[in-house]
Structure 1
Amino acid sequence: MMGWKQRAFFVMGLSLLIAILVWSQMGIYLAHALFGVNLQVNFFKFCISLFREGSFYYFLIIIVLNTLIVYTVLITLIKTVQQYFLLGRFRKKILSLRNTELTGILNQEFERENEDIMVINHKQLLAFTVGFRRPYIVLSSSLIEILEDHELRAVVEHETFHQKNYDSLKIFVLLLISQTLWYIPLTKWSYQNYKIISELLADEYAIQRMGSELSLGSTLLKLVKNCFSENSTPILVHFSDGSVNYRLQQLVDPKKTIPVRMEARLIVISVYILILLMSMIMLAVT
């Protein structure tokens, strides 16, 4: 049975493999269409042999292929630019709410050499990791008020894992892949499952650092009791989110495995679409 780290690697790798496969094939097609690069390919000969150049089906495939590639390129660019500006606006908002005094106290208390914890004045109970290149932890003043010292430390340790693991960046990449390649169901499956697995891994890290499950468990229950509201965006990794049920289950019964199941239907559809897409590309460049 794979551990959570192996599962995270598998889920992330699967999505990246699909993206690289599709984008590389699209790159081959664009190189052929724009620069006349003549690539010798013999892949999917059977599929290609079903169509004759100049036939109605041939032109239909070319139209569909061009539309799909243009759509994929545009959506990728649009989503990336949107995220860039969203992150900029979000940073400005966070800085405007910064509680300088509490920020300094917490960084000193938790011995954060890089001063990568920021406290903001906010009435919601917030704890998340933000940023791609240099992620930092954001905690709300309201959250600090309701937590005991050991519970607050558990939250910081949890978010530290997200920070060290660059989960904000990874989740954004997976979200981008799932949005641009939405017609391949396994990309959405990877995005959704990685979010859950990353939370379980962060909990596991916090428990190891704290020495027991008590602090983390009491914190989760306190957040649930206070009706923690989710307001997620692609650049955030929340301490408490839609995976809370899985996390509580893992805390109650650590030996019980939480299956990350891949439905046969998703595999069949995704493989079929990949074969169809690559067949269309190979037909277009031969």
Structure 2
Amino acid sequence: MIRFERPQISMLLIILISGLVLLQMGLSLSHQLGDVPFGQNTLGYLAELISDIWVNHSVFEMLFFLLICFTVYRMLQYIAKQSYLAMKWNLFIKGQVHGKLTKRWNNKFRTWDETILVLRESSPLAFAVGFMRPKIVISTGLLDLLSPEEVKAVLLHERYHCQFRHPLKKWITGLFIKSMEYVPVIKSLGAHFEIWIELQADRYVMKKTNSPLILGSALIKLIKVHNKFQMVRVSFAEHAINYRLQQIIDPDKPIAATLFTGRCVFISSAVMLVMSMIVMFQCV
């Protein structure tokens, strides 16, 4: 088992591994496309390309080509699904914004660069949304549930996510995780990334409030509501609950969050090795 506390390293490793997979796929695909001269008839070219792959390439090359198609399909599927969900969320947010409370909370934290949106919603919501200029979204249900000090702790937590563009980074990691499930180390790195951005956001809150008590109180209240109503969307209380509670109870104790196991590394290495061998065989 391997452990470390920097989500930036997890993110970098995801990008490097995914980039290597895409590079090998690109080399393989360019080789296969180069075997067939492109004509003006696109359908004819595709038919000839498929025929060439079927007749003139090995079984492993054909399987690798199918894997490339699967990966591209999953990427496009993920982008389409996330775009649809983002559109729905944006419409929901625009339709539910509580103008008076939104103005009040933005005035209260006018020194912040991040915009705070308060929604007319009885369920306790708290999350960061947006890629280039993330916003903090909370609900009237959250304001009713928590004390003003606890609300501030939630806002600080989400502010940390906004400052480090975590919504965008989570979208990118999700794209590679969903499209490359055959490389399990990417999924493990993604889980490690999400755990540690939550833990670091909590550390930011505890540093700003000089105490873990307010954060702990808010987190416990949100956990109770989340357990009672499973449909509640509270990013503040969804991820890495056990690790977060452990950190709040004993902030000085190291968190033993496993990065990935040896089995995960072995399977991923085997997959990457087979890909490399196929590409090398094509180039010979």
Normalised to the residue count of structure 1, the TM-score between the two structures is 0.85
Q: Tell me the amino acid that sits aligned with residue 267 of structure 1.
A: V
Once the two structures are TM-superposed, the CA of residue 57 in structure 1 deviates from its matched residue by 11
Q: Which moved more, 1:65-74 or 1:26-35?
A: 26-35
Structure 1 partner of 2:225: 226
Q: Separation in 2 of the partners of 1:85 and 1:142?
A: 25
Q: Separation in 1 of the partners of 2:171 and 2:30?
A: 28
1:145 and 1:254, CA in 2 relative to 1: closer, same or farther beyond 3 A? Answer: same
Q: Tell me the amino acid that sits aligned with residue 262 of structure 2.
A: A
Q: What is the SS of the residue equivalent to 2:102? A: helix
Q: Tell me the amino acid that sits aligned with residue 222 of structure 1.
A: K
% identity of equivalent residues: 32
Q: Separation in 2 of the partners of 1:29 and 1:221?
A: 51
Q: Tell me the amino acid that sits aligned with residue 248 of structure 1.
A: L
Q: Separation in 1 of the partners of 2:271 and 2:99?
A: 52
1:81 and 1:112, CA in 2 relative to 1: closer, same or farther beyond 3 A? Answer: farther
- Matched-pair contact (CA < 8 Å) for 2:3–2:256: no
Structure 2 partner of 1:47: none
Once the two structures are TM-superposed, the CA of residue 223 in structure 1 deviates from its matched residue by 1.6
Q: What is the SS of the residue equivalent to 2:237? A: coil
1:187 aligns to 2:191 (yes or no):
no
The C-alpha deviation readout for 1:29-73, integer Å capped at 9, x for no partner, is 222222469xxxxxxxxxxxxxxxx9x996211210110011111
- Matched-pair contact (CA < 8 Å) for 2:161–2:201: yes
Once the two structures are TM-superposed, the CA of residue 202 in structure 1 deviates from its matched residue by 0.4
Structure 1 gaps of 5+ residues are 38-53
1:257 aligns to 2:258 (yes or no):
no
Once the two structures are TM-superposed, the CA of residue 150 in structure 1 deviates from its matched residue by 1.2
1:80 aligns to 2:74 (yes or no):
no
Q: What is the SS of the residue equivalent to 2:272? A: helix
1:165 aligns to 2:164 (yes or no):
yes
Q: What is the SS of the residue equivalent to 1:257? A: coil
Structure 2 gaps of 5+ residues are 37-52
Once the two structures are TM-superposed, the CA of residue 242 in structure 1 deviates from its matched residue by 3.4
- Matched-pair contact (CA < 8 Å) for 1:65–1:281: no
Structure 1 partner of 2:210: 211
1:241 aligns to 2:229 (yes or no):
no
Once the two structures are TM-superposed, the CA of residue 99 in structure 1 deviates from its matched residue by 0.6
Q: Tell me the amino acid that sits aligned with residue 181 of structure 1.
A: M
Q: Tell me the amino acid that sits aligned with residue 257 of structure 1.
A: P
Structure 2 partner of 1:42: none
Structure 1 partner of 2:39: none
Structure 1 partner of 2:266: 268
Q: What is the SS of the residue equivalent to 1:128? A: strand
Once the two structures are TM-superposed, the CA of residue 166 in structure 1 deviates from its matched residue by 1.0
Once the two structures are TM-superposed, the CA of residue 211 in structure 1 deviates from its matched residue by 1.7
Q: Separation in 2 of the partners of 1:97 and 1:201?
A: 30
Aligned residues: CA RMSD: 2.5
1:135 aligns to 2:134 (yes or no):
yes
Q: What is the SS of the residue equivalent to 1:129? A: strand
State how 1:35-46 maps to structure 2 within 5 Å. 35=34
Structure 2 partner of 1:119: 118
- Matched-pair contact (CA < 8 Å) for 2:114–2:136: no
Q: Separation in 2 of the partners of 1:180 and 1:28?
A: 18
Once the two structures are TM-superposed, the CA of residue 231 in structure 1 deviates from its matched residue by 5.3
1:281 to 272, 279, 282: 279
- Matched-pair contact (CA < 8 Å) for 1:128–1:159: yes
Count of residues paired in the alignment: 265
Q: Separation in 1 of the partners of 2:82 and 2:104?
A: 31
Q: Which moved more, 1:220-229 or 1:122-131?
A: 220-229
Structure 2 partner of 1:49: none
- Matched-pair contact (CA < 8 Å) for 1:129–1:162: yes
State how 1:136-151 maps to structure 2 within 5 Å. 136-151=135-150
1:115 and 1:21, CA in 2 relative to 1: closer, same or farther beyond 3 A? Answer: closer
Q: What is the SS of the residue equivalent to 2:127? A: strand
Q: Which moved more, 1:108-117 or 1:254-263?
A: 108-117
Structure 2 partner of 1:152: 151
Once the two structures are TM-superposed, the CA of residue 2 in structure 1 deviates from its matched residue by 7.6
Q: Tell me the amino acid that sits aligned with residue 219 of structure 2.
A: L
Normalised to the residue count of structure 2, the TM-score between the two structures is 0.86
Structure 1 partner of 2:99: 100
